[in-house]
Amino acid sequence: MTEKTTEGAKILVVDDDPDMRDAIGMMLEPAGFQVIMAKDGEEALLKLAAERPNLMLLDLLMPRKDGFAVLKELHEEEKWRAYDSMPIVVLSSVREEPARRRYHLETAVQFAADDYVEKPVSPTALLQRVKAALAKTSTARQK
Amino acid sequence: MTGFVGHKALYEIARAVNSTLEVRGVLQSIVESVTKAVGAKGCAVLLLTADKGQLTHSADYGLSREYVQKGPVQPTHILTEFADGKNVLMVDVSADARVEYREEAIREGIVSMLSVPMMLGEELVGVLRIYASESRSHSAEEIDFLRAAANLGALALDRAGTHEAIAKANELLIQEAQELARLEVSREYLHGRLREVARELIKLEEGRKDLLRLVYVAGHDLKAPLAAVQAYMAVVLEGYAGEIPDKVLKILKRSSTRVMQMIELISNIMDLSRLEAGQLMSELRETGMESVIKNSLEVVAVEAQQKEIALKKELPQPLPNVRGDELRLQQVLTNLLVNAVTYTPSGGLVTLRVKEKPDEILIEVLDTGIGIPPQDMPHLFDEFFRGSNVEVPGTGLGLAIVKRIVEAHGGRVWAESPCPETGQGSRFSFTLPRQGQAQEEGQQ
């Protein structure tokens, strides 16, 4: 059932480290996902509009526009309303709790990620979390 | 004629009393004016001592130094006669029994002496004495003048006394004011110094925070390439890059373990820097122990099972709440449990115990492991300390972080080895204030 709902899903991987993007691609592509990449927050928003991915895998600390700013813009700006149902999985080496606290302090809104995966990451664990996030939203949409 | 002279003299005396507050000058002007006004040989003011036991020369005119210095005069008979409202007149000094210093008086050429009281209101303060070189008497007019002069002298003495008191008070006030000014200067100086010290401290604190921030940022930058390397290795190790020979797999596994250790070390250093900067902990709030214990046990469950180590729980029901940061408490308990399982050989026992005490919660982790050599005990919670009997790799930061987190909760942490209950392994204990008590302690 999970395989069926997530197969062929398009995933936007946002990370400033090219090797990390590459390795994540190697983990996701064999599982049948279509992977697109962005090297920072600005590129991520461009790709988001152009590619309409089913899920975004988002790093937090990046140059130019970081992951916090991406989450903030998606939350605040009207033009991104169509993406409200798109699951966002944060993949960062920043510990989850301080990241959530910092975001809450800076924006006064709750951190809107669907899941939070701390680096280092293993393929098995990452695939499991990505599939779970996709399954949750597709179930929600069916309701 | 005498009256005229007397009035003129009185006028001068009164002027002296008013114009100068220096008592000696006033008395001197009195004896001089009196001598001249009544045409006497000399005149003296003898003041009564405080105990009224003696009369002493205070000012004189027309008398020799020897005579004046003859000694104090007994006032007894004078006081008695004054009390009767009389003046004391001795018309022939050589024949008068009341004369105390007869020889001195004769040698001085004194024949008669008249003493009039110096009264300040009802109080006798001294005697104005007029000396003559012939036997003489005094007119009523003269006596009135002498009494007035004597009383003016008494008034001058009184004013001088008051003035002296005022002068003294003034002097004290001036001293006080100067002292206050000095204190004010010192106070300003101290305030200035305090401000400087405070600024210095703020600068130091900012420097320390900058350094801690630098450690944190550097830690993150160190971690990023390692995380990428580790991700690649995980891709290969989990078979996403195709079949690989066993030998390569083994090498990669070892490499991956080392990379993971390094990531762990950097994470710990970052945790320490954030603990030092006061940023790792979130606000302490009422926290249930349930999930802290469950999640911590989950972390060690697999390894314990592999090593056939029994995990025993001794928990009160229901579990008490504590004031804390759930994630950090989990970090503490996980660290202690991982250590216990790591340093306990196969077939051993690790016990997790929670005890409720009247004012705190006691959490203990007991093991039947290799224990801690006595010489290591004092350094157990130091940064980068590694036990002298351990072979398992570690960062030497775990217990240092444990200690900081527990102390940030207002608790204590300590270790005993061998465990006092079993005589083997070790027992790690930490306390947490009961819910509602951490705040009070924090205020002390």
Contact yes or no for A9/A28 (Cβ under 8 A): no
Q: Which residues of B lie closer than 8 Å to A, measured between beta carbons?
A: 220, 223-232, 234-235, 238, 240-241, 259-260, 263, 274, 279-280, 282, 327
Q: Which amino acid is at A62?
A: M
Question: Which of A15, A19, A66, A96 is the mutation pick for testing B, counting most B CBs within 10 A?
Answer: A19
pLDDT at site B18: 65
Please check the confidence at residue A2 and state whether its pLDDT lies above 60.
no
- Is the separation of the CB atoms in B354 and B369 below 8 Å? no
- Report residue B221 as tokens: 């930058």
- The residue behind tokens 């993971």 is B260
Higher pLDDT, B435 or A61: A61
* Edge-to-edge strand ranges of the sheet holding B88-90: B55-61, B42-48, B123-132, B112-120, B88-90
> Does the pLDDT of residue A6 top 90, yes or no?
no
Q: Are B257 and B265 in contact (CB under 8 A)?
A: no
Least-confidence region, from A4-8, A25-29, A66-70, B340-344: A4-8
Q: What gap in Å lies between CA A123 and CA A140, rounded to an integer?
A: 26
User: Is the model's pLDDT at B264 over the cut of 90?
Assistant: no
| All residues at 6 or more sequence positions from B243 whose CB lies less than 8 Å from its CB, including other chains | none
Inter-CA distances, A30 with A13, A83, A123, Å = 15, 26, 11
Average of per-residue pLDDT values in chain B: 85
Looking at chain A, which residue has its C-alpha nearest residue B280? A98
Binary contact (B235, A93; C-beta < 8 A)? no
Give the model's confidence band at B233: pLDDT under 50 very low, under 70 low, under 90 confident, else very high: very high
For residue B40, pLDDT over 80 is answered with yes
DSSP assignment letter at B22: -
Query: Does A23 sit within 8 Å of B232, measured CB to CB?
Result: yes
Q: Cβ separation of B238 and A30 shorter than 8 Å?
A: no
Distance from the Cα of A90 to chain B's closest Cα (Å) equals 15
Report how far residue B133's alpha carbon sits from residue B107's, in angstroms, rounded to the nearest whole number: 11
Are B20 and B158 in contact, with CB atoms under 8 Å apart?
Answer: no
Give strand pairing partners of B43.
Answer: B61, B130
β-pairing, B310-314 vs B123-132, is unpaired
- ipTM for the predicted complex comes to 0.83
pLDDT band for position B438 (cuts 50, 70, 90)? very low
pTM for the whole structure: 0.54
Q: Is the pLDDT of residue B444 over 70?
A: no
Q: For residues B296-321, b (16+ Cβ closer than 10 Å) or e, as one string?
A: bbebbeeebeebebebeeeeeeebbb
**Both tokens of residue A118?**
């701390």
- Ranges B109-113, B249-253, B418-422: which has the least confidence: B418-422
DSSP one-letter string for B354-406? EEE-SSEEEEEEEE-SS---GGGGGGTTSTT---TT--S---S-HHHHHHHHH
Give the pLDDT of residue A140.
58
The pLDDT assigned to B191 comes to 87
- Kindly determine whether residue B228 and residue A20, on different chains, have CB atoms separated by under 8 Å: yes
Q: How does pLDDT run across B46-87, given as a tens digit for each residue?
A: 988 888 888 888 889 999 988 988 888 888 888 888 887 788
What number is the average pLDDT over the span B183-211?
86
pLDDT at B174 (0 to 100): 81
Q: Which positions ≥6 away from A110 have C-beta within 8 Å?
A: A100, A104
Tens digit of pLDDT for each residue in B281-301? 777 788 888 888 998 998 888
Burial state string for B226-245 with b = 16 or more CB within 10 A and e = fewer than 16: bbbbbbbbbbbbeebeeeee
What confidence tier does B439 reach under pLDDT thresholds 50, 70, 90?
very low
> Cα distance from A4 to chain B (closest Cα, Å)?
21
Residue A117, min C-alpha distance to chain B (Å): 13
CA-based angle B371:B376:B379, to the nearest 5? 125
B269: CB partners within 8 A, 6+ apart: B215, B219, B397
Q: Closest approach of chain A CAs to the CA of B255, in angstroms?
A: 14
